[in-house]
Structure 1
Amino acid sequence: MPPLVYVCVRPQAGAAAGEYESFRAAMRRDDLAQLDLVREPLPDDVFDRYAGFVVGGSPFNVTDPESTKNDVQRRVEADLERIAARAAAGTTAGMFTCYGIGIVTRMLGGEVTRAYPEDTGPTTVTLTAEAGSDPVFGGLANSFTALTAHKEGAGAVPEGATLLATNEDCPVQAYRVGDRLYATQFHPEPTGRAFTQRMAIYRDDGYFDARDYDLIAGRVLAASVTEPARLLHAFARHVDR
């Protein structure tokens, strides 16, 4: 079976390298391939080469004014929509995280809005009743801690999607489309240590007050974030099946 592939959409090479290692460890896949959409377009044969895609986060925002998006961001968004459309149709599998949930939501005709940002750090995520029978979310605790840092979110569950996880600050935390496409607003891949290293890279990008780095990092390191990694491992097994 072709391997799973990590899809990088981060211009910052250090953040991308750390994110890849986090996905590889959480999914328990030493053979996890890499595809960097910032530096190369989606290959024509990509859906023959890989059984499934895991899409990382990005400092890009779907809601950025079109006039401010450069050619790379526009191409990245178009290529991600191609992957999402194939996963929605059931011809591949996809797990889109953070920035990626905005791509999927827009592709499905839903609203992406700046009304539901979340502060950098740990948050509590609660599963819906529908998550209990889901092949990926079904084995998780009903409520768990995850890590977030985002400026936008889905305004509502897109038509045709099943809400799987929620919380008060950002009600659309995760959903499924069909049985092959998943999207999460929270970051499922990093350990606390890996997240603080990413925070250091983005400390001046407006996600948090740079002066509060040590305070926020302390909260992150004190949080238990075991369930999100179990989610990614379950997704990898789901793709295998």
Structure 2
Amino acid sequence: MKPFLILQLRPETEASNDEYSAILRKGGLTVDQTRRIRLDRDALPDIDLTHYAGTIVGGGPGCVSDAPEDKTAIDARAEAACLSLMPQITNHDLPFMGCCYGIGILAHHLGAEVSKDSYGEPVSAATCTVTPDGKHDPLLHGLPSEFDAFVGHKEAVQNLPTDTVHLLSGDVCPFQMIRHKSNVYATQFHPEADGAGFATRIRIYKDKGYFPPNEAEALTTMVKAANVSVPADILRRFVTRYR
């Protein structure tokens, strides 16, 4: 079997390791079935993505819409590396799953607006609703018409990109999941995240502007109590389909 390429943009080692472990666990993958590249610290080599079963991009504290002068050197380098692969992915319709930061990467590449003007969501378990097109998508077919997923983002896609299908909507953020062509997916929510993992991120990112730091304890209690399970099925279905 071809390995899955896991690209990560989190400069915090604990958060990066926890995210990678969650992707393995929820996706039904083992370490030897993946190639992990931490773009925050490792240079991206020349890659032929046809040698991989698919590409999965994780989240991160950076924002695609931030002005260049406001990006850290690490965030700018990681984002540029990820964007450099998007023409290969979209031109050839290669399997891709972009999670949170990944939907911004995909939409920006396709020419859609990604900004902080509207649709940002606080750390929460947001309700996602399957659209009519989503009911027929192989990653969503047969899943509940509504389910909760963990979110927390300052920016969002403002309009549906060209040649893209709207799969999941939300009350606050309308574009919770999209598909470009047949195989290029992205979610605003974190399909790999569970309550314990999101609690870890709350602790690590409590001073990054996602929420007032004094709300960290209450948010931790909330995410640990939330009933969030369906998003992991989406990630597992992606892996199973392209394995």
* In the alignment, structure 1 residue 233 sits paired with structure 2 residue 236: yes
Asked whether 1:215 is paired with 2:192, we answer: no
Following the alignment from structure 2 to structure 1, what is the Cα–Cα distance between the partners of residues 55 and 190? 15
Identity of aligned residues (%): 34
Q: TM-score, normalised by structure 2?
A: 0.94
Question: Normalising to structure 1: TM-score of the pair?
Answer: 0.95
User: In 2, distance between residues paired with 1:127 and 1:109?
Assistant: 24
Equivalences, count: 240
Partner amino acid, structure 2, of 1:32:
T
Deviation at 1:223, TM superposition (A): 1.0
TM superposition outliers: structure 1 runs of 4+ over 6 Å: none
- 1:146–1:186 contact (8 Å) kept in structure 2: yes
Give yes or no for contact 1:110–1:157 (8 Å, CA) kept in 2.
Answer: yes
After superposition, residues 62-77 of structure 1 pair within 5 angstroms as 62-77=64-79
Deviation at 1:91, TM superposition (A): 5.0
Whether 2:157 is the aligned partner of 1:154: answer yes
Q: Give the direction of change, closer, same or farther, for the CA distance of 1:13–1:163 in structure 2 (3 Å limit).
A: same
Correspondence for 1:184: 187
Shift of 1:100: 1.3
Q: How far apart are the structure 2 equivalents of 1:12 and 1:182?
A: 25
CA contact (8 A) 1:96 1:184 kept: yes
CA distance in 1, matches of 2:213, 2:68: 28
- Listed one character per residue, the Cα deviations across residues 63-111 of structure 1 (whole Å, up to 9, x for unaligned) are 1111222443333222212333222223531100111111111110100
User: 2: distance between equivalents of 1:132 and 1:180?
Assistant: 16
Amino acid at match of 1:102: G
8 A Cα contact 1:84 1:104, kept in partner: yes
Residue matched to 1:25: 25
Q: Secondary structure at the match of 1:238?
A: helix
1:171: which partner in 2?
174
Provide the secondary structure at the position in 2 that maps to 1:120.
strand
Q: In structure 1, what residue type is equivalent to 2:213?
A: A
| CA deviations over 1:42-61 (Å, ceiling 9, x no partner) | 21135254221111001010
CA RMSD of aligned residues (A): 1.4
1:159-206 CA distance string (max 9 Å, x none): 110000111211111100011110100111011111101110111111
Q: Is the 8 A contact 1:3 1:33 kept in 2?
A: yes
**CA separation in 1, counterparts of 2:39 and 2:140?**
28
CA distance in 1, matches of 2:48, 2:7: 11
User: What are the within-5 Å matches in structure 2 for residues 1-241 of structure 1?
Assistant: 1-30=1-30, 31-90=33-92, 92-114=94-116, 115-240=118-243
Structure 1: give runs of 5+ residues left out of the alignment.
Answer: none
Q: Using a 3 Å threshold, how does the CA distance of structure 1 residues 181 and 48 change in structure 2: closer, same or farther? A: closer
